[in-house]
Amino acid sequence: MTGKAELKLDGKTLTLPTVVGSENEVGIDVTNLRKETGAITLDPGYGNTGSCESAITFIDGEKGILRYRGYDIAELAEKSNFIETAYLLIYGELPDHVQLEEFSSLLTENQMLHEGMRFHFESFPPTAHPMAILSAMINAASSYHPNIIHKREERFPYHAARLMSQVRTIAAFSHRKAQGLPVIYPKSSLKYTANFLHMMFSHPGEDYELKPELIRALDLIFLLHADHEQNCSTSTVRMVASSRANLFASASAGVCALWGPLHGGANQAVLEMLEQIHDEGDDGSKFLAAVKDKTTDRRLMGFGHRVYKNFDPRALIIKEQCDKVLSQLHKSDPLLDIAKKLEQIALKDDYFVSRKLYPNVDFYSGIIMRAIGIPLDMFTVMFAIGRMPGWIANYKEVMEDPNSRISRPRQIYTGSTLRNYTPMEARG
């Protein structure tokens, strides 16, 4: 499509150019709307607003398509791994041998936290949620590397590797701190995901037994979460980056946005919901009735998506992986049975069908993480580790865009019009 849009406002017609993406998505360019008409667009929740042009990730929610840099998510899930996919997202192409080697070496060289950061961990109360620690510690890490602020462009590959590597170390340390356990330092001989499991679960003098099937399952979870175009946290990262804040500050803001239960926090909320249903002896039907009752604000967590209106391709892969992991471990989980039952009922129920609500990535991921032994309050941290390459790629795109402007939406003001100050004595 190469057409133009026409807008009629108060008898005046404004012609608006259209922008067509490489997958033929059409955007109406309203850049000059306010200048020419004095009006703005209003789109609460941004369901119809494209905030940027981006070459990183493509989603077709109607068809259930997700591609990173043009590669289908199912093919990457089968043939790639988290680190290779992270390189692809950040640098745009699959790495050759040398590039992958260099990227891995940079990750290993940057895996240690500055020893001074140990004291920051000490200052958190034992009740601190690991997402609060993660966000604070990512921001704190920038203060140990001042050139993140001053040489953010020329040193980008180092900063990116440092962030990706250290987020994993911070996450593991926050778990150890919450459990009152001594921290376990990373081992250079281990690959990214194995090294994370080692830091989480080894004990001084006794290494955790690294099972290949669990390493692969967690690596897959990271890969499936690695990017998802302009979701809430990625938009936050881009928003902060647009003010020219540094990479660590931008990513730290992304962690905060991810934490909420409607976004990354849904994986924790799903497990809590399944546990509650299990504890109440419900087979899921009572819970679903409550969800459909509009006088409550209950939601079937792990269901629904702003963009996917047919199926979430990540959910299909994760469900299959969930069955595989449990059978490899010779484990069964009553929560998996409840999840399957809920899905079965919901997919036939008019409430969910008419609203196009399907299981999303979070519906089954928690059951895998539980089987690995990751505590519930660390689930969203796993999402953050996985999403880091996507945030870094989006940050890079903002930084390299010569036309990038500070993000600064407008509003329609609905408050009081001008009124005079009332002295205290005269207030009722």
Residues making contact with ligand CMC (CB under 6 A): 45, 228, 231, 262-264, 266, 291, 299-306, 355, 357, 360-362
Q: In the beta sheet, which residues pair with residue 312?
A: none
Rank residues 216 and 263 by Cβ distance to ligand CMC and give the closer one. 263
Tokens matching residue 107:
């990750």
Selected catalytic residue, list 129, 305, 312, 333: 305
SS3 412: coil
Where is 392: in which H helix or E strand?
helix 379-400
Selected catalytic residue, list 219, 227, 312, 362: 362
Q: Report the alpha-carbon distance of residue 404 to residue 419 in Å, rounded.
A: 38
Residue 129, CB-side half-sphere exposure with 13 Å CA sphere = 14
Q: How far is the CB of 327 from ligand CMC (least distance, A)?
A: 26
Rank residues 135 and 231 by Cβ distance to ligand CMC and give the closer one. 231
Q: How far is the CB of 174 from ligand CMC (least distance, A)?
A: 21
Rank residues 156 and 303 by Cβ distance to ligand CMC and give the closer one. 303
Residue nearest to ligand CMC as judged by C-beta position: 304
SS3 16: strand
Q: Report the alpha-carbon distance of residue 58 to residue 65 in Å, rounded.
A: 8
Closest CA to 357 of 299, 407, 271: 299
Q: How far is the CB of 417 from ligand CMC (least distance, A)?
A: 31
Q: Report the alpha-carbon distance of residue 335 to residue 309 in Å, rounded.
A: 25
- Indicate the DSSP class of residue 46: G
Residue 192 vs residues 33, 84, 173, 189: alpha-carbon distances, Å: 48, 11, 15, 10
Rank residues 331 and 355 by Cβ distance to ligand CMC and give the closer one. 355
| Neighbouring C-beta atoms of residue 397, cutoff 10 Å | 19
- Indicate the DSSP class of residue 204: T
Q: How far is the CB of 230 from ligand CMC (least distance, A)?
A: 11
Q: How far is CA 421 from the centre of its chain?
A: 45
Rank residues 77 and 113 by Cβ distance to ligand CMC and give the closer one. 77
Q: How far is the CB of 74 from ligand CMC (least distance, A)?
A: 18
Rank residues 193 and 233 by Cβ distance to ligand CMC and give the closer one. 233
CA pseudo-torsion sign 167, 169, 175, 180 = negative
Q: Is 150 a catalytic residue?
A: no
Q: How far is the CB of 246 from ligand CMC (least distance, A)?
A: 25
Q: How far is the CB of 314 from ligand CMC (least distance, A)?
A: 9
Closest CA to 50 of 79, 26, 81, 71: 26
Q: Give one DSSP letter per residue of 354-388, joined into a string.
A: HTT--B-THHHHHHHHHHHT--GGGHHHHHHHHHH
Q: Is 305 a catalytic residue?
A: yes
Rank residues 219 and 362 by Cβ distance to ligand CMC and give the closer one. 362
Catalytic positions, written as ranges: 305, 362
